Structure 1
Amino acid sequence: MGELMSRNNYKSICFVAMPYGKKTDFNTGAEIDFDKIYQLAIKPAIEEAGLEPLRGDEELTGGIIHTTMFARLLLSEYVVADLTLSNPNVFYELGIRHAVKPFTTVPIYAKIHPLPFDVGMVRAIGYNLENSTLSKEASLSKEAAENLKSELMKRIQQVINGPQANDSPLFELIPKFPAVELPYEVTHSFRERVNQDKEFQERLDKAKLNLSNRERGMALLKIQQELGDPRKIQTSILLDLMLSFRSVEAWNEMTALCESFPDYLKNHIFVRQQWALSLNRRNKPGDRDKAISLLTGVMKEYGPDPETLGILGRIHKDRYREAKEKRSIMASTALDDSIYAYTEGFESDPRNYYPGINAITLLIEKGDEESLKKAEELAPLVSFAVARCGGASSSNYWDLATVLELNCISSDWFSAVKVLPKMLDKAKESWMLKSTLGNLMMLKQARIRQGHDTEKLQEIINEFEICICDL
């Protein structure tokens, strides 16, 4: 399968928390060679399960060791923890893992004495050690190594292939104990600090150099097929691939990828949001109902937030556009649903301008006196929110697009023309331009109905259409 599959960079990481080298058990006086246990049983079990094993002492990143350790415990898809010596480091690492991940952690221990009471409830795999008659060494026999390897491999495969099941006592005993959901941007930051290989991202970028979105999507799909089973691939790799499909508007491929994710990743808030977005854009029968269900589930668990309600607002906005085109009686309901979602999204965090600017556009589209008054009230709040992000001085596409839309709404054509080229330059993906263009087209139609001149607005729309063709 070529260079991509000749390396193990993309397999899911199974981080191993355990003592290193030879250590003495103070209860029995036995000396245990943990490196041998790792090499003879733990490492081959993980590899045969299709994962990439990694012990803390195998990191080659340099820098502060705790940074790397925290990153691995937070981000590794799977963890094996050897609790044999009641080693404080291992127990500390297990505690961190149990506090942030409800499942995918497998404890093991040598049966030289019972596990401490506080971890006695965890489902751990025990293994046997043989005492030497000539020394105090307690070693792993060939038979015991095979048994441990077999049992550990089975447990890991159950975690990979089976239904999601809590193995953290906190998540098992405390209903609705909150898992730590790291934003995608934070995981990328960690990846930089643990020196993640950039080859995969480079290959994704190369695939996106094709001339059309269709060709780009096909190239990305080939990369996905070469990766193999998504349940055994690193989370960060899968997320990069998902966002690459989004960037080339490969909505069918993006949706199918999300559906193939392991349970722990399907349940991540960021994935559910993006999955809903792709379902809405794909829009096969039942897609939008499923998208709304995904977003409703997110809000039920985490409460309202601008991103979730922004995507929900977009779904209803698309419903409105389609119903309006068909002259359906349901158009007004879809418009109200969209306005409500966007407005609630902005009010959930007024620092986030995205749902606010969409609410304003739709209120102008509705056009009655009450809606126009509400749009007028929201405009300075949204303007302040985007100004906090840099406004026209920002280098972020969405900041600049929002400034442009506000300028068009207020008919400040001098400022609109000034920010337009900078905004177009920051647009790297056609779907971004299409999203903003849709709002400007809606604004134009509303202004025509209200008797306003739209010549300047049409000139800006023309520049968008040219730029979309170039991408």
Structure 2
Amino acid sequence: MTLLAKPLCAVLMPSGSKRLPSGQAVDFDALYTSLIEPGIVAACMTPLRADAEAGGGIHAPLHERLLLCDYAVADLTCGSAAAFYQLGLRDGLRPATTVTLVGEASPLPLAPASPGAIPYAPAPPEMIRYALAADGRPADAAAGAEALTRALGALRRLRFRPLFQLIEGPVAPDIARLKTDLFREQARYAPDARQALAAARQGGREAVRAVAAGLGEVSVAEPGVVIDLLLSLRAVGDWQGMVDVVGQMGAPLARSTLVQEQYGLALNRLGRADEAGRVLEEVIATRGPSSETNGLLGRVYKDRWGAARQAGRPLEARGWLGKAIAAYLQGFEADWRDAFPGINAVTLMELASPPDPRRVELVPLVAYAVKRRIARGAPDYWDHASLVELAVLARDEAAARLAAADALASVREPWEPASTARNLGLIREARAARGEGLPWADAIEAALRARAQALAPVVQT
């Protein structure tokens, strides 16, 4: 489900035929098919009208489209309060991404274009006026479609990024990998569903599936509930369940950065590495590098390295190891505050044969990033886990034991300590091949594995 190639353009407009106070008829369906849809398609975007979305129908959540579509077209000809509310909500969430349309017979009190005219509400610069024929259809649909294409192209060239997108991109002012944590802390959605999913996560995979069955059709559910369901399935290691939920989502939500990242993660855990790589590579190509997306892509390459190595294909393994290091390094360089891709990069550099000399320069940078975040008073599991790996790489037993104690006390989901234990195991194997060994590091690895198994014995790591 690589949905990011063409931006989605939401269409906010009435349906059917309406008659204006002047008596002029407006055939909105004809307006859509002859002017709006061709104009959006010509701008290399995918139009999404409420009653045309597959699976969603007219019941698809309006807020989902308003929040998550890259661009929008809003027709204000009828001048309804609902239309202006929707437009205002859209502009507040994603300013400079909407084109408005209005028929010439509209009752809207827009300011006339002539100098010195009595000023009413000024028309926004992205407004397109179109003439209506007697039958309510656009009088010159082709010209209107061309104007719409030009307006959307102009907005696209602005490359505007909203100030705060909870599930669409990196969340300022903190780092990208914290999107999922911030979502649960700050998103406001159905409290009953939130509580049910929180309880189900403690009960395991079947408990989450049971709650999911009671939530109804995913494509029309509240987006906040759907995202929480996706993350709850991740927490219990139900990777196929995650893939299934993404397939049932409405298009705007499914193509959001957070969802596509989690989709790539789930595909990789299911052994569908080719698909996972394509999904995450497309997110990076479309949205740009980030510590989170690159971290997930690095994991895909890292797993492919491991598979090639176990299969006795050393040249192929070396290639995947290089791609994994590059992906993690790009993620760290995208946000120096996030040590997660950085620690993975230096760990894999340690595993190379011979070890990659760049790790000597990177280790102090990664350590500084971790320590600064901890000093801010808001460390999480990954901060402590990064210090564990750094201490093991530096052969610092005291620092490793201290960081491991903090990490074990900060575990939230079982896959976290399992992931760190896996990295320590790789370091142990690489050093053993060079005739090196650290028994105390082996003990920390064992403690992390035991913690993961105690939290969720059913989870496959």
- TM bucket (normalised to shorter chain) is 0.5 to 0.7
Q: Secondary structure at the match of 2:309?
A: helix
- Find out whether 1:289 has 2:274 as its counterpart: yes
- One of 310, 335, 341 as aligned partner of 1:349: 335
Distance in structure 1 (CA, Å) of the matches to 2:208 and 2:258: 21
- 2:237 matched residue in structure 1: 249
Q: Do the aligned partners of 2:79 and 2:108 also contact (CA within 8 Å) in 1?
A: no
- One of 301, 318, 332 as aligned partner of 1:316: 301
- Find out whether 1:381 has 2:365 as its counterpart: yes
Distance in structure 2 (CA, Å) of the matches to 1:194 and 1:245: 18
- 1:93 matched residue in structure 2: 88
Instruction: Give the 3 Å change call, closer, same or farther, for CA 331–170 of structure 1 in structure 2.
Output: same
- 1:207 matched residue in structure 2: 200
Shift in Å at residue 309 of structure 1? 1.3
Distance in structure 2 (CA, Å) of the matches to 1:247 and 1:194: 18
* Superposition map of 1:99-248 within 5 A: 99-100=94-95, 113=107, 116=110, 121=128, 171=152, 174-175=155-156, 178=159, 180=161, 182-184=165-167, 196-210=189-203, 216-248=204-236
- One of 383, 387, 390 as aligned partner of 1:399: 383
Instruction: Give the 3 Å change call, closer, same or farther, for CA 98–419 of structure 1 in structure 2.
Output: closer
Structure 2, unaligned runs of 5 or more = 1-9, 14-19, 23-55, 111-122, 133-147, 173-178, 456-461
Distance in structure 1 (CA, Å) of the matches to 2:249 and 2:422: 31
Instruction: Give the 3 Å change call, closer, same or farther, for CA 390–423 of structure 1 in structure 2.
Output: same
Shift in Å at residue 465 of structure 1? 2.1
Structure 1, unaligned runs of 5 or more = 1-13, 18-24, 29-46, 55-70, 126-166, 211-215
- 1:437 matched residue in structure 2: 421
- 1:50 matched residue in structure 2: 59
Q: Do the aligned partners of 1:106 and 1:124 also contact (CA within 8 Å) in 2?
A: no
Shift in Å at residue 451 of structure 1? 2.4
Distance in structure 1 (CA, Å) of the matches to 2:376 and 2:441: 18
- 2:264 matched residue in structure 1: 276
Shift in Å at residue 224 of structure 1? 2.5
Shift in Å at residue 183 of structure 1? 3.3
- One of 402, 422, 425 as aligned partner of 2:409: 425
Q: Secondary structure at the match of 1:254?
A: helix
One-letter code of the match for 1:230? V
- 2:393 matched residue in structure 1: 409
Shift in Å at residue 101 of structure 1? 9.1
One-letter code of the match for 1:467? R
Distance in structure 2 (CA, Å) of the matches to 1:190 and 1:463: 30
Deviations 1:117-147 (A, max 9, x none): 767648999xxxxxxxxxxxxxxxxxxxxxx
Mean CA deviation greater in 81-90 or 455-464: 81-90
- Find out whether 1:300 has 2:295 as its counterpart: no
Deviations 1:386-416 (A, max 9, x none): 1111169754101110011111111111121
Shift in Å at residue 259 of structure 1? 2.0
Deviations 1:390-443 (A, max 9, x none): 169754101110011111111111121122222112112111111111110011
Deviations 1:172-200 (A, max 9, x none): 65446546561336899799889644221
One-letter code of the match for 1:423? A
Instruction: Give the 3 Å change call, closer, same or farther, for CA 94–449 of structure 1 in structure 2.
Output: closer
Q: Secondary structure at the match of 1:426?
A: coil
Instruction: Give the 3 Å change call, closer, same or farther, for CA 178–170 of structure 1 in structure 2.
Output: farther
One-letter code of the match for 1:272? Q
Instruction: Give the 3 Å change call, closer, same or farther, for CA 447–192 of structure 1 in structure 2.
Output: closer
Distance in structure 1 (CA, Å) of the matches to 2:415 and 2:394: 25
Distance in structure 1 (CA, Å) of the matches to 2:86 and 2:229: 35
Shift in Å at residue 349 of structure 1? 2.3
Distance in structure 2 (CA, Å) of the matches to 1:72 and 1:266: 11
Corresponding pairs, count: 373
Q: Do the aligned partners of 2:384 and 2:407 also contact (CA within 8 Å) in 1?
A: yes
Distance in structure 2 (CA, Å) of the matches to 1:459 and 1:174: 57
One-letter code of the match for 2:232? S
- 1:43 matched residue in structure 2: none
- 1:154 matched residue in structure 2: none
One-letter code of the match for 2:236? V
Q: Do the aligned partners of 1:363 and 1:374 also contact (CA within 8 Å) in 2?
A: yes
- 2:144 matched residue in structure 1: none
One-letter code of the match for 1:113? P
Distance in structure 1 (CA, Å) of the matches to 2:318 and 2:183: 46
Deviations 1:330-369 (A, max 9, x none): 1111111111111222122222211110011111111315
- 1:5 matched residue in structure 2: none
Shift in Å at residue 239 of structure 1? 0.9
Q: TM-score, normalised by structure 2?
A: 0.67
Instruction: Give the 3 Å change call, closer, same or farther, for CA 203–176 of structure 1 in structure 2.
Output: farther
Q: Do the aligned partners of 2:416 and 2:452 also contact (CA within 8 Å) in 1?
A: no
Q: Secondary structure at the match of 1:249?
A: coil
- One of 303, 323, 332 as aligned partner of 1:337: 323
Distance in structure 2 (CA, Å) of the matches to 1:192 and 1:452: 44
Shift in Å at residue 222 of structure 1? 2.8
Distance in structure 1 (CA, Å) of the matches to 2:257 and 2:340: 18
Shift in Å at residue 221 of structure 1? 2.3
- One of 263, 277, 284 as aligned partner of 2:251: 263
Distance in structure 2 (CA, Å) of the matches to 1:72 and 1:364: 46
Deviations 1:301-324 (A, max 9, x none): 222222121111100100111111
Q: Do the aligned partners of 1:83 and 1:109 also contact (CA within 8 Å) in 2?
A: yes
Distance in structure 1 (CA, Å) of the matches to 2:183 and 2:75: 22
Q: Do the aligned partners of 2:188 and 2:224 also contact (CA within 8 Å) in 1?
A: no
Q: Do the aligned partners of 1:295 and 1:308 also contact (CA within 8 Å) in 2?
A: yes
Q: TM-score, normalised by structure 1?
A: 0.66
- 2:119 matched residue in structure 1: none
Shift in Å at residue 169 of structure 1? 8.4
Deviations 1:145-181 (A, max 9, x none): xxxxxxxxxxxxxxxxxxxxxx998546544654656
- 2:26 matched residue in structure 1: none
Shift in Å at residue 114 of structure 1? 6.5
Q: Secondary structure at the match of 1:208?
A: helix
